[in-house]
Amino acid sequence: MSGRVYFEDVQVGQTQRFGGYEVTREEIIEFARQFDPQPFHVDEEAAGRSMFGGLIASGWHTCAMLSRMICDHAIPGTATTGALGFDDLKWLKPVRPGDVLSVETRVLEKIESPRRHGVGTVKIESRVLNQRDEAVMTLSSLVLYQSRATA
């Protein structure tokens, strides 16, 4: 058995926890200026007057930070080839400067798709947690894994 994790090796119910992403004010503003320039993401004063009571990260920035944590900690050693998309994304709590994010993943389901040559789909739930262990975002990704048979 080679060291890589293929579709066949994935088990429903498996969990992983990783992360430690420090969210900075500068990064929140930089991301949002480019992709989500709403006052509560780019302007501290306006954010203070908004219903959020201060600067918060764009929800898509939280997705991007989740992606980075997955790339750094979950993908190495696995035979994944991308993702089809996701379901049930919920932005549950604001992400603020100084927050430290981590991720808890759980394999929900293995979906075989023989028409995709040697590639199977795995539904994986990710919960993004802050330093108080509050879930700030959850989603279920459809991740593509190579089959060992065709590797």
Partner 1 sequence: MGETDVLGSHTVTEPEIVAFATTYDPQPFHTDPEAARGTIFGGLIASGWHTCAIMMRLSVESARRKQAVLTGSPGVDSCRWLKPVRPGDTLTVRAEVLETWASRSKPIGFVRSRVEAFNQRGEIVLSLVGLSMYRRRQEGSA
State the Cα torsion 123-107-145-101 to the nearest 10°: 90
Measured from the CB atom, the residue of 16 and 50 that comes closer to partner 1 is 50
Q: Are 101 and 129 in contact (CB under 8 A)?
A: yes
Instruction: Write out the residues near partner 1 by the rule CB under 8 A.
Output: 31, 34-38, 40, 50-52, 58-60, 63-65, 67-68, 71, 75, 81-91, 139
Residues, the chain: 151
How far is C-alpha 113 from the chain's CA centre? 23
The C-alpha atoms of residue 27 and residue 98 are separated, in whole angstroms, by 11
